[in-house]
């Protein structure tokens, strides 16, 4: 088993006001996970949870800022001052689970959830599970599974 770490510098923050959670080898696309993490970083925990719930219900689209070629324009992205977006339901559901885990870790530490903000949300590429489908005339088609690692750190800011 690998020994996983976090890509987060804890030296700047008080460790008693910090709560972390991560998901490793999740079966979601790294591009979708990256765009979701970019949106929720800096949000309060409850605000991020409602945003992710709306994405799962297809009521709010996620702005795709880096991976935006040939993306449809979405009208509901005007508050984000962006145009291209999608509804990555599966990735939003996995990020929601990790955010809920970080929230429960914060409650266990005795932090006030109302004062907590997401200070670090990162997605990294994981392994690629390679499979091939046999086709006619001795050919084959690739059927790859992309895995991702997602990390979320929340911090309680004093009021």
Residues 65-116: pLDDT tens digits? 999 999 999 999 999 999 999 999 999 999 999 999 999 999 999 999 999 9
Range of the domain at 100: 18-156
Residue 93: inside a domain: yes
Residue 1: inside a domain: no
Residue 58: inside a domain: yes
Mean of per-residue pLDDT scores for the chain: 94
The whole-number average pLDDT for the span 8-33 is 93
Contact 62, 55 (CB under 8 A): yes
Residue 3: inside a domain: no
Q: List, in sequence order, every beta strand (DSSP E) within 5-115.
A: 18-26, 62-63, 85-86
The whole-number average pLDDT for the span 11-27 is 93
pLDDT given for residue 104 in this prediction: 97
| Number of domains, the chain | 1
Residue 123 sits in a domain whose CATH number is 3.90.470.10
Residue 119: inside a domain: yes
Contact 46, 19 (CB under 8 A): no
Question: Which residue in this structure is represented by tokens 């979601």?
Answer: 28
What distance in Å separates the CA atoms of residue 63 and residue 110, rounded to the nearest whole number? 34
Partners of 156 in the beta sheet?
A: 116
Residue 9: inside a domain: no
What distance in Å separates the CA atoms of residue 12 and residue 133, rounded to the nearest whole number? 49
The yes-or-no verdict on residue 159 having pLDDT over 80 is: no
């Amino acid at each position: 088993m690998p020994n996983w770490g976090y890509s987060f510098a804890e030296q700047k923050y008080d460790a008693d006001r910090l709560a972390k959670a991560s998901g490793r080898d999740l079966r979601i696309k790294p591009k979708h996970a990256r765009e979701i993490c970019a949106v929720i970083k800096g949000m309060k925990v409850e605000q991020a949870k409602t945003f992710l719930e709306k994405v799962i219900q297809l009521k709010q689209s996620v702005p795709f800022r880096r991976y935006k070629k040939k993306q449809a324009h979405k009208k509901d992205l005007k508050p984000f001052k962006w145009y291209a977006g999608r509804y990555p339901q599966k990735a939003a559901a996995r990020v929601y689970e990790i955010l809920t885990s970080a929230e429960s870790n914060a409650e266990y530490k005795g932090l006030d959830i109302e004062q907590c903000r997401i200070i670090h949300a990162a997605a990294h590429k994981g392994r690629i599970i390679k499979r091939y489908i046999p086709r006619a005339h001795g050919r084959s088609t690739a059927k790859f599974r992309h895995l991702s690692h997602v990390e979320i750190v929340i911090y309680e800011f004093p009021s």
